[in-house]
Each structure stands twice: as C-alpha cells, then as structure tokens.
Amino acid sequence: MCDYIVHDDAVPLHLMLREVNGVEKRLKLIEDIYSGKVKARGKERNKGIACHKLAEELGVFGTPSLLLYDLARGEGKLFSGYIPLALIKDIIFKFL
C-alpha cells in the first residue's frame, strides 16, 4: 500500500503536530493550520517519496483513489474521489 500525501505541506505540518503535547494544544494547532494562521516550517516535502512518483505515473491526482487491476486482461482502472461502498462492491463483483 502506498501512503500518498497530496498536499506538499502535509509532511512538515504533520511533523509539527507530532511535536505538540496535549489534545487541546493539538486541536488549537489544527484550527490555526486550517485558518491559515500557521504555515509549514521546514524543508521536508513529499516530492522525493517513491509513492509520489508512482502516483504521478499512474495519473493519481488526489485521494482517496482506488486502483483495480485485472491480471487476466492485463489492464486496470483507476477511480478517484469518494466512492460509496455499494458502488465499490458493484465494481468489484459485477464488472471485474
């Protein structure tokens, strides 16, 4: 499984969050991040991650993404965005 992070600032923001102790302080930091009061610090970016390169090659442009591959046909189908569970079951059990 490839843990693909879409936003470039997700890695440094996640690292900043891990440094904060206490639930209330973490929630405050998350609120500040979403409101734009806190910006990512550090130079860590996800551009060098192998999963990121693979995602670009496959055309994955966001999460969640579901890649179903049919070995018998030698081809696959990429689904991006939210997919209801009933539709996923239909795709897997009726169309593959």
Per-residue pLDDT for the chain (96 aa), expressed as one digit of tens each? 445 555 667 777 877 888 889 889 989 988 998 898 988 776 555 455 666 777 788 888 777 888 888 888 888 888 888 888 888 888 788 765
Phi/psi for 43 (5° steps) reads -110, 0
Q: Would you state the pLDDT for residue 48? A: 55
Query: Which secondary-structure segment (H or E) carries 67?
Result: strand 65-70
| Contact assessment for residue 76 and residue 69, using Cβ atoms and an 8 Å cutoff | yes
Query: Which tokens belong to 88?
Result: 């996923």
